[in-house]
Structure 1
Amino acid sequence: MTLQTVILAAGMGTRLGRALPKSLTTLSDGRTIMQQQHENIRAAFGSDARITTVVGYRAETIIDAFPDADYVHNESYDETNTSKSLLRALTATGRGGVLWMNGDVVFDPRVLGRAVELIEREQSFVTVNTSSVSDEEVKYTLDERGFITELSKTVEGAAGEAVGINYIARQDKRALQAQLQRVDDQDYFERGLELAIAENGVRVSAMDISDLYAVEVDFAEDLERANEVLA
């Protein structure tokens, strides 16, 4: 299936303490974080999947490593957060639905295979893990129908954590773009999604991948954990 995919990789990744963009961090199996993302996308959706990467910090290093991808530049990468990077990407990808992921997620290739059915029926979703709820992670709550209501780092009584892999269906895309335009420069994209749910009636499913691995690499200990699951 042909699918628009987006990788958000504009940030400086200062918490990991690397000179290169975090997505170019080498894993224990010899691949970079972004390389395993590209391979997972191709395995699930084939060679026709379009990969658009949002770049900012040391953009040329990512472009040189993956010359066949499409690129969107966030020149204000040091002053804005993922809300504005995603807004730029959604604007560049036309009217269709978009699968996007943070550029620091190391994940089981079966995650995207599980997403195919939801994407084919144009159901917006957030990928979640119900096995742990950390203060540092984005968390969520559900309504009585199983759709997401709250989505932030400050959620109380959370059902689990958001993993950083998401899909916005074509019919919901314009609402999300409008909310991403509205939110503060330093907001994460989850704030725009939360507002689209609350104010535009967008229905977002929680796709549970608790039985699979997905690690967002923010700190050195996250990288160690990612390498452990790859071993």
Structure 2
Amino acid sequence: MTTQIVILAAGMGSRLGRSLPKPLTELNDGRTIMQQQHDNIRQAFGRDARITVVVGYKYEHIVEAFPDDDFVYNEQYDETNTSKSLLRALTASKDGGVLWMNGDVVFDPEVLVRAGDLVARDESFVTVNTAKVSDEEVKYTVDAAGSIRELSKTVEGGLGEAVGINYVSSRDKAALLRHLHRVGAQDYFERGIELAIAQDRLKFQPVDISDLYAVEIDFAEDLERANLFV
């Protein structure tokens, strides 16, 4: 089955202070953030991987840059957060699991290669970095079996940070969809995962990529750090 991959790129990215959508920010190697993501996807899953981009703010620029992708429009991009963008993407997806990522993450190509085995086995996961735990980032804890238990910015005693690259299996997708419907408009998609774990006993495995780079671009200093790797 063709791997379904979603890039969440609807937001305005106002903190970075650019006129174009943040995923179109150019890196030092001449590629945009989103082009780097596409290259990583193709390296891990081949040319047949189906990429759907959730667009919103100045969407026409992304559509023009990546005409071969599929697109889902979040018309409430200025009023909602990633939970509602992911909701739209999963609703539009075909049968099977879905790998998704935030559209502002610059990451090592090996991240998707490492996660490929779990995708092939159709097992839900969250990629994590245990090397640092910042208060403003999404953090996680695990249960006795090692599966994700808590996943939010308010987690206390977090074991690491969620990177923003995740997979929901075919069997777990319907439950996650239900909870994405229920969460608030300003919630991140992690809230839907957390509720699905607590209420439907879904199992999301943490995939540790601490030895690889993955930088979420929110501010100019994040972009500077990401450019050290590309």
Band the TM-score falls in, shorter-chain normalisation: over 0.9
Deviating 4+ runs (over 4 angstroms): none
* SS of aligned partner of 1:95: coil
- Structure 2 letter corresponding to 1:122: D
Deviations 1:62-118 (A, max 9, x none): 000000000000000000000000000001112210000000000000000001111
* Identity fraction in percent: 72
Q: Distance in 1 between the 2:222 and 2:143 partners? A: 31
How much does 1:229 deviate?
1.7
- Structure 2 letter corresponding to 1:169: S
Deviations 1:141-165 (A, max 9, x none): 0111110000000100000000000
* SS of aligned partner of 1:15: helix
Deviations 1:10-64 (A, max 9, x none): 0000010100000000001000000000000000000110000000000000000
Q: Distance in 2 between the 1:152 and 1:109 partners? A: 26
TM-score w.r.t. length of structure 2: 0.99
Q: Distance in 1 between the 2:179 and 2:187 partners? A: 11
Q: How does 1:167-186 map to 2 (within 5 A)?
A: 167-186=167-186
Structure 1 residue runs without a partner (length 5+): none
Q: Matched residue pairs, number?
A: 230
Q: Distance in 1 between the 2:104 and 2:120 partners? A: 26
- Structure 2 letter corresponding to 1:106: V
Contact 1:95 1:173 in 2 (8 A): no
Structure 2 residue runs without a partner (length 5+): none
* SS of aligned partner of 1:84: helix
Q: Distance in 1 between the 2:65 and 2:201 partners? A: 40
Q: Distance in 2 between the 1:224 and 1:109 partners? A: 19
Q: Distance in 2 between the 1:46 and 1:120 partners? A: 13
How much does 1:121 deviate?
1.1
The aligned residue for residue 220 of structure 1 is 220
Q: Distance in 2 between the 1:188 and 1:215 partners? A: 18
The aligned residue for residue 155 of structure 1 is 155
Contact 1:107 1:215 in 2 (8 A): yes
Contact 1:140 1:150 in 2 (8 A): yes
* SS of aligned partner of 1:229: coil
Confirm or deny that 1:98 pairs with 2:98. yes
* SS of aligned partner of 1:122: coil
How much does 1:127 deviate?
0.3
The aligned residue for residue 145 of structure 1 is 145
CA RMSD of aligned residues (A): 0.6
The aligned residue for residue 19 of structure 2 is 19
Q: Distance in 1 between the 2:5 and 2:121 partners? A: 16
The aligned residue for residue 30 of structure 1 is 30
TM-score w.r.t. length of structure 1: 0.99
The aligned residue for residue 50 of structure 1 is 50
How much does 1:135 deviate?
1.1
